[in-house]
Amino acid sequence: MSCRGRTELHRGCGLRNPARDAGGEPAGVDALRPEPRLSRILRLPAGAPLSDRLFASGVEFPCGGEGICGGCRFRFPGGDWELACQATTTEAVTVEVEQWTAPPTVLTDEASVTSIEPQGGLGYAIDLGSTTLVAQRVDLRTGEIVKIRTGINPQTRRGADIMSRIAYDLQHPGELTDAIRRQLGALLGRQAKTAIVAGNTAMHHLFCGLSVEPLAAVPFRSPWLGAQRFTGKELNWPVDEVIVLPCIGGFVGGDTVAGLAVTPLGEGDALVDLGTNSEVCVARAGRIRCASTAAGPAFESPKFRRGTHLVESVAAALAAGQVQPSGRLSGEAIEGLSQAHVRQLQLAKAAVASGLHLLGASGTLHVAGAFGNYVRESDAKRIGLLPAGSAIQAAGNAALRGARFLLLNPSRREQVIEELLARTEHVELAALPEFQDAYVSAMRFA
């Protein structure tokens, strides 16, 4: 069965891992092993190129079909492993796909919004994620969520990471824009008044049809960061107006604006959204300093369920002395956990940890996103992803909740956004003189 057709919904906001027992730290070799890599047999009818048919069946192409990541390996029965993105057959075939097939986790966040300006009709709050999409149909009079629909961002066909998609869009302008507009439109149903769309800067630009060329190279400064408005007719959507939230700077976009709208930060507090492109926002001296940290695929690895199992495995290996603080594996190999996996996690956690340090986080960490919702707090602190002495508060899907808050408060919407933008500043971490030392230091496991 395709994982696209059985997307998993998680509505809680507690930091937890449902696959873990409640008791204590793991021990023993079994606890150190990543979940087994699964394969599945697919029978594909004749038609489109093999890669297109596999994508429709839920197979991911992390490098966008460039043939460099090895994430789409397949084989014909009895044959050798090949890369699906390089295959050309259009015949009816039976293939075995070597890829983790757990459905992507989608946080639908049904936590209540306390401030509501009663209106008539319906509206949509939309989380335009790099990987997953969520559309909530909302009763504008009561604030009740009437329906939730989720999907996969079709742009993942052209790369799991944002930079791959930017490169693709520069070569094939308009294709990714059309794809995401169609996919989101398909999630909507009944006619509505307003839709609020929240996404990072790359998603904002690709959805709106803006040039992504300024985002293709350092210093990643785009002149088109403002809110964008469309009529439903322009997008072929069943809504009167569509508002795409503005961006802050760099890759810190409207999803962060929405998250900050519903996450009050005291002095030293931080909002952290963990994913392939993680964002860190820290409140200091009346300002909110925001940065994007390129965490890479470690938090969303197809080999390790939601990325959390990689964190669990390394944390357990550290506790057992099988991984040194430097990241080097000690003694005999751990089945399923390679030196490359550990290094990948080191790079990811160093990006986030150094960002928190350089921006001055010293209070409560509000951790948002699916990875943050399921990673075990003790494991995150054990590897040094989150500071050992920090208080952690799960924020769930803060971007979606913020989009809903702005949808339900039209008279305050612009004021809230303007005040947030006035308080926030984008920080390019790599440009800070102390960044290199902080990053290298953060690569060590706590």
User: pLDDT tens digit string along 360-399?
Assistant: 999 999 999 877 777 889 999 999 999 998 999 999 899 9
149 and 212 fall within a common domain: yes
Q: Mean pLDDT across the chain, nearest whole number?
A: 84
pLDDT at 103 over 80: no
228 and 156 fall within a common domain: yes
Rounded Cα–Cα distance for residues 371 and 106 (Å): 10
Per-residue pLDDT, 23: 39
Per-residue pLDDT, 7: 29
434 and 314 fall within a common domain: yes
149 and 78 fall within a common domain: no
Per-residue pLDDT, 50: 77
What is the mean pLDDT of the segment spanning 185-189? 95
Residue 255 lies in a domain: yes
128 and 225 fall within a common domain: yes
Per-residue pLDDT, 15: 41
164 and 183 fall within a common domain: yes
Rounded Cα–Cα distance for residues 186 and 174 (Å): 18
Residue 412 lies in a domain: no
C-alpha 388: how far from chain center: 24
Q: Are 73 and 48 in contact (CB under 8 A)?
A: no
pTM of the entire structure?
0.80
Residue 274 lies in a domain: yes
Residue 128 lies in a domain: yes
What's the CATH code of the domain at 245?
3.30.420.480
Residue 418 lies in a domain: no
Domain count, the chain: 3
At residue 369, the 3 state secondary structure works out as coil
| 259, 291, 306 - which closes a domain | 259
139 and 244 fall within a common domain: yes
| 259, 278, 310 - which closes a domain | 259
Amino acid (1-letter code) at residue 14: G
What's the CATH code of the domain at 377?
3.30.420
Which of 300-314, 325-339, 419-433 shows the highest mean pLDDT? 419-433
Q: What is the 3-state secondary structure (H, E, C) of 115-143?
A: CCCCCCCEEEEEEECCCEEEEEEEECCCC
271 and 251 fall within a common domain: no
Tokens for 179, please give them: 């794809």
User: How many percent of the chain have pLDDT more than 70?
Assistant: 80
Residue 177 lies in a domain: yes
pLDDT at 11 over 90: no
251 and 290 fall within a common domain: no
Residue 365 lies in a domain: yes
272 and 192 fall within a common domain: no
| 82, 97, 112 - which closes a domain | 97
DSSP conformation class of 334: B
User: How many percent of the chain have pLDDT more than 90?
Assistant: 58
229 and 165 fall within a common domain: yes
Per-residue pLDDT, 18: 33
Rounded Cα–Cα distance for residues 83 and 218 (Å): 32
Residue 347, φ and ψ in degrees, nearest 5: -65, -40
Q: Which domain holds residue 436?
A: 263-397+430-443
Tokens for 182, please give them: 């169609």
293 and 172 fall within a common domain: no
Residue 295 lies in a domain: yes
Q: State pLDDT tens for residues 121-176.
A: 999 999 999 888 999 999 999 999 999 999 889 998 888 789 999 999 999 999 99
For 238-304, give the DSSP string.
Answer: SEEEEEEPPP-BTTB-HHHHHHHHT----TT-EEEE-SSEEEEEEEETTEEEEEEEE-GGGGG-TTS
Tokens for 35, please give them: 């979940």
Rounded Cα–Cα distance for residues 291 and 279 (Å): 6
Rg (CA), the chain: 22
